[in-house]
Amino acid sequence: MVGRLPTLTFSEATSSDVFAERLAGRQDTDVAQLLAAAVAHIHDLIKQFRPTQDDWRKVIAFLTEVGHASDERRQEWVLLSDLTGASALVEEINSRRPKGATPNTIRGPFFREDAPERKQGASISLDGVGEPLAVSVSVQDLDGLPVPGAELVTWQANSQGYYENQQPDLQPEHNLRGLFRTDGAGRVEYRSIVPSGYGVPGDGPVGRLLAAAGVPLHRPANLHFVIRADGFETITTHIYDAGDPLLAEDALFGVRPELVHTFEPADVAGQRGKAVALTFVMVRSKPRRAA
């Protein structure tokens, strides 16, 4: 019995077609189509830059190092996606919203699902280090009506530009993190400290690679938010300090004009500090997007 030969012989000219042929009959699946397209792009890059075997082993070594650098506190793969703009592009494609609605940005690599629930007016600064900040939030729909009972999760860097899970031995657990629920008027008020801008992690393989390529590795000062409410699309976004000089060079591509706010001088619990008032506008879920 004679075995069946492949229709195409593998060569530089046919490489991606040979791979796609192996998916014949399965091209109707999203996974097969995405995989075939990804392989085609990779093969095109190889043909364009023509790496040596040693060069390609360095690429594999880099990807291996990214995996080794990821653990329960640090996600280097997320950082790679974020710093190349891939995360921002996926978010942009999947969260287009009507004019007036709060736009989504990416969560970033330092989000935690276990932020503790806190009471209205509470401080999320557990060590009290930094310039006091009063945050007033209003959550409403596109008609300007309040959204009561919405879940608001917030997290931020400290005054030195570090998140709590970057410094588990220097900051209290869950420092500068909190979960609040909007009151009957759709409002949340809490206290914190003024965050600092910061450099994204440059001590791992992703940071070293992008720094070598000359990519900016800093972020302007910001507050993170995730806002959830029944019947509405979830908002995942940032608020940026208008006074930060690095707004134009955000490493995660998240700055938009409507997300930039001025932190005004204010009295915060008897101390000189700043205050910021924010309004988030939610969009009602469409049935096909509810999942």
pLDDT, tens digit (0-9, with 9 covering 90-100), for 35-92 = 889 999 999 999 999 999 999 999 999 999 999 988 877 788 988 998 999 988 998 8
Mean pLDDT of 177-188: 98
For 199-256, write each residue's pLDDT tens digit: 887 889 998 999 899 888 999 999 999 999 999 999 999 999 999 999 998 998 999 9
Distance of CA 228 to the CA centre of its chain: 16
Is residue 31, in this structure, part of any structural domain at all? yes
Residues 101 and 231 in one domain: yes
Whether the CB-CB separation of 176 and 141 falls below 8 Å is answered with: no
134 and 230 fall within a common domain: yes
- Whether residue 150 has pLDDT greater than 90: yes
In a domain, 106, yes or no: yes
275 close to 136: Cβ distance less than 8 angstroms: yes
- Looking at the fold, whether 233 and 140 belong to one and the same domain comes out as yes
The band of 3, judged by pLDDT with boundaries at 50, 70 and 90, is low
Residue 6 lies in a domain: no
pLDDT digits (tens, 9 = 90+) for 200-209: 878 899 989 9
CATH number at residue 258: 2.60.130.10
Same domain, 43 and 85: no
The CA-atom distances, in angstroms, between 261 and each of 22, 107, 123, 216, 277 are 53, 19, 20, 23, 8
Range of the domain at 118: 76-289
Domain-embedded: residue 191: yes
**Cα 252 from chain centre:** 7
Please say whether the beta carbons of 237 and 259 come within 8 A: yes
Answer yes or no: is 63 within a domain.
Answer: no
Position 24 pLDDT exceeds 90: no
Is residue 202 included in any domain, yes or no? yes
Looking at the structure, do residues 210 and 280 belong to the same domain, yes or no?
yes
- d(C-alpha 183, C-alpha 189), whole Å: 10
Domain assignment of residue 2, yes or no: no
Per-residue confidence at 122, pLDDT binned at 50, 70, 90? very high
179 and 285 together in one domain:
yes
Are 194 and 254 in a shared domain? yes
Which of 21-35, 130-144, 275-289 comes out lowest in average pLDDT? 21-35
By mean pLDDT, which of 20-29, 126-135, 157-166 is the weakest?
Answer: 20-29
For residues 38 and 122, membership in a common domain is answered with no
Coil, strand or helix: which one is 199? strand
Let me know whether 164 and 199 are in one domain.
yes
Do 83 and 188 share a domain, yes or no?
yes
The answer to the question of residue 179 being in a domain is yes
Domains identified in the chain, total number: 2
Percentage of the chain exceeding pLDDT 90 = 68
Check pLDDT > 90 for residue 288: no
Residue 114 has pLDDT above 50, yes or no: yes
Same domain, 41 and 82: no
Looking at beta carbons, which pairs linking 254-259 to residues 24 or more positions away fall under 8 Å?
Answer: 254/88, 254/105, 254/106, 254/222, 255/220, 256/103, 256/105, 258/102, 258/103, 259/102, 259/103, 259/105
